[in-house]
Amino acid sequence: MNAQEVVNYCFETIEQSYSARDAILYALATGYATQPLDPLHLRYLYENSLTTAPTFANVLGYPGLWMNDPRVEIDWVKMLHAEHRMTLHRSLPPAASTVSTNRVTGLRDLGPRGAMVHYQTDITLADEGEPLATLITSVIARGDGGCGDWGDAPPSLERVPERNPDATIELATSKMQPLLYRLSGDLHPIHIDPAVSSAAGLRRPLLHGLATKGMAGYALLRQFCDLDAKRLMSMAVRFTRPVMPGDVLRFEFWGEAPGRIQFRAVAVNEGDAPVLDRCEAVVT
Instruction: Give the active site residue among 41, 186, 208, 247.
Output: 186
Q: Is 191 a catalytic residue?
A: yes
Round to whole Å and give the CA distance between 177 and 187. 13
Round to whole Å and give the CA distance between 253 and 223. 9
Strands 248-254 and 167-172: antiparallel
Nearest residue to 283 (alpha-carbon basis) of 237, 238, 209, 226: 226
Task: Please compute, for residue 147, the number of CA atoms within 13 A of its CA located in the half-sphere on the CB side.
Answer: 30
Round to whole Å and give the CA distance between 168 and 276. 14
Angle at 203 between CA 73 and CA 188, to 5 degrees: 40
Task: Please compute, for residue 127, the number of CA atoms within 13 A of its CA located in the half-sphere on the CB side.
Answer: 5
CA–chain centroid gap for 216, Å, is 9
Instruction: Give the active site residue among 41, 191, 208, 247.
Output: 191
Catalytic residues: 186, 191
